[in-house]
Structure 1
């Protein structure tokens, strides 16, 4: 390898490392308060003692935490709340206590909406935290349940007395993530792609790809890849 080529690779690798720091810091700023609210929700649920927990009581408990997450001081959050495990409530099989949008409105499904029949346990943002006991970021995907927008959902498990009670979660629109991350990644002058665990693109400064694209191993040549901290995401430099 020539000296010039070695320098070019070193510069590109340094840009990749800086990109990982940028992405990791962005998601840490979301996940840290999410985990804090999850812990406090768990404590408040534990304080209910033997009282039967109803949908109304859960909504009252969760709302301040949802508004707190929506009022994130630096990162725009579209929706936030808590999704109850089946069997937690006395008057409903499960429940999504959720607030979203600029007006912080509570999400209410129309009577007999098909959304009411969705089993949250099948969804990645619920299933993975339940199985692993750790926060998880799911997406990008079209959120037909809540926002009907292209979205990323972060969720943290809520455990009460060793029992999984549900997840605290927040939604960030992909257009928000692109707006926050594209400029600092673009400034690194090396085309980079941020992908999730199934190689779906969240952010790209490589003109060949856009959010939502899937990078197929047989069609792309990955020169270098770096795992981000806190989340199951990687930053790729493509050949």
Structure 2
């Protein structure tokens, strides 16, 4: 199918919006009830890391079972000093075996990382809104190019951390590129700072910057409710 550039651009944006809507809805569906569980747990005693894990696990495992998005990892990243026994805490499950990630067993540096500096944590905590971060190489969890979807959790108006899920870029490519290709144009999906997430254009690679040069003149369309934009290569035969 070949469509006009404007129509193809809007269609590509719709593909992206629909694709990421399920992961976002999934997080928003459990982050509120989870926050209520945290509030109840704090009222009955110290909120230790192990108690946080017990509350997060069923939500994370359900998120890993999401059928219409390739979720690689899911869980909760606690705000600084939320746990009574640690400065911060990552309650996270990932992989085909859905095992809990134990950072202390991997690296002391990973265990002590300051999550507050990372985009997928910082922006939801600052804005109170869901956010899609990436692509980036996730040295913390998967060691692969990753997209993270995150949503803040609140108790009595105070943000206590973020619920999140990871999607490997390789899996997102397998899902999105055939849908883009069906539009009959080269389609490139970029993030909020102008870097390529995925693209049907063989001249583009994940992570490339597209803020200048020929890219500046190409039609683009901001996707609703996600901080992503599509760029569509025009057909030279278009009027």
TM-score relative to the length of structure 1: 0.93
Flag the 1:47–1:110 CA change in 2: closer, same or farther, 3 A: closer
Q: 1:87-126 maps to which residues of 2 (within 5 A)?
A: 87-111=81-105, 113-126=108-121
Unaligned runs of 5+ in 2: 235-239
Unaligned runs of 5+ in 1: 1-7
> In structure 1, the residue corresponding to 2:25 is in which secondary structure?
helix
- Asked if the contact 1:221–1:238 (Cα under 8 Å) also holds between the matched residues in 2, the reply is no
- Asked if the contact 1:151–1:174 (Cα under 8 Å) also holds between the matched residues in 2, the reply is yes
> In structure 2, the residue corresponding to 1:202 is in which secondary structure?
strand
> In structure 1, the residue corresponding to 2:87 is in which secondary structure?
coil
1:27 equivalenced with 2:20 (yes/no)? yes
2:5 to 8, 12, 27: 12
* CA displacement, residues 113-132 of structure 1 (integer Å, 9 cap, x when unaligned): 21112100000001000000
Deviation at 1:219, TM superposition (A): 5.1
1:173 to 165, 168, 171: 168
Query: What do you get for the CA RMSD once the two structures are aligned?
Result: 1.5
Q: In the aligned structure 2, how far is the partner of 1:55 from the partner of 1:211?
A: 35
1:184 to 179, 184, 195: 179
1:130 to 125, 128, 151: 125
1:198 to 190, 193, 199: 193
TM-score relative to the length of structure 2: 0.93
Q: How many residues align?
A: 231
Deviation at 1:35, TM superposition (A): 1.0
